[in-house]
Amino acid sequence: MNTLVLTIEGNQQDQDKIQQAAQVLKEGGTVAFPTETVYGLGANGLDPKAVKKIYEAKGRPSDNPLILHIADKEEIKPLVASIPPVAEKLIEAFWPGPLTIIFEKSSIIPKEVTGGLNTVALRMPSHPIAHWLIKETRLPIAAPSANLSGKPSPTKAEHVIQDLTGRVDIIIEGDPSQIGLESTVVDITTPIPTILRPGGITYEDLQNLLGEVNIDPGILDDLGQQYQPKSPGMKYTHYAPAAPMTMIEGPTKAVVEKINALTKEYQLQGKKVGILATVETKDDYRGDIVLSLGQRDKPQSIASNLFDLLRQFDKEKVDVILAESISSQGIGFAIINRMTKAAGHRIIHVAK
């Protein structure tokens, strides 16, 4: 397959490029495009054959449900069985934006989108290119992250080009994603709204709006292959760099000492060590490749850098990665979730 890369630069040719990409989607093709969370790989969410192309391009398991992306609130009604009051509150507060809501599905949603479940996940992106493209198609666009399944999610067009060239019809090249983590997913089909995946809309944000909010046990626990996922990112290995990664949790000084001790052990074995640090501790390490996520008191910068840095370790061909943990408050909860999955739940806890 020949993949066409279309760069959106804010000039008069952009309309033609969006129309070209929209036509490919209408005809059952695949288009990767930027969103405010990560880059997405889109296809017509009402066309089972088109949706299957997403799974094939990514190498994604078919029981891993997809999110349908829409451009207008009026597009919700045909896709869902009902719109309960809690959904209306969430839509009013957080759409367009990085929040996915899980509804009871309508009969027009193909099983290829839902992984065979009776629910459907909907999101309205705020990114102007994503909104423009979806609006032009007049279709709900099924779109997981635009990467090979299991690899770190793409936050830059170069990530998508690296992973999916020759696998998709079009890649739209825009600016890097601002949030850098996939959307928060909230299931409103449960008696109490339940977070299935943390993201840019935090637990605290949802609690302030709704009151009581549950957190699904699959978010941070490794529940194994028998787990029935209701949201992307809940069952299979995700976000993983090529080298095995281990997180180290505990007081900062103890974490630094432990990472340096492990680094020395690995280097004596002839291994190239990558260390994922923060601005405050970067200079304290002796790894072969030490990368800084950002400042601990600015977790949004850490979120936007995480996946790109994991891919940089791949470029550097490190043999192992040792990563500092951070606070789980606010968006830190989503960051820890992604790091835990990237590490395959390999975590070392250190005391003072």
Q: Residues within the annotated binding site for L-threonine? A: 37, 69, 123, 143, 183
Cite the annotated binding site for ATP by residue number.
60, 64, 119, 145, 153, 197, 239
* Cα–chain center distance at 19: 26
Cα(243)–Cα(333) distance, integer angstroms: 23
- With left for phi above 0 and alpha for psi between -120 and 50, is residue 106 left, alpha or beta? beta
- Please check whether residue 292 is in contact with residue 279, taking contact to mean a CB–CB distance below 8 angstroms: yes
Alpha carbon separation from 227 to 64, 131, 219 (Å, rounded): 11, 33, 12
| Annotated binding-site ranges | 37, 60, 64, 69, 119, 123, 143, 145, 153, 183, 197, 239
- How far apart are alpha carbons 53 and 41 in whole angstroms? 10
CA distance linking residue 72 with residue 341, whole number of Å: 33
Cβ neighbourhood burial of 268 (10 Å; 0-12, 13-18, 19+):
exposed
Helix (H) or strand (E) holding 323: strand 320-324
| C-alpha dist (Å) from residue 198 to 34, 40, 209, 351 | 20, 18, 16, 27
Tell me the three state secondary structure of residue 256: helix
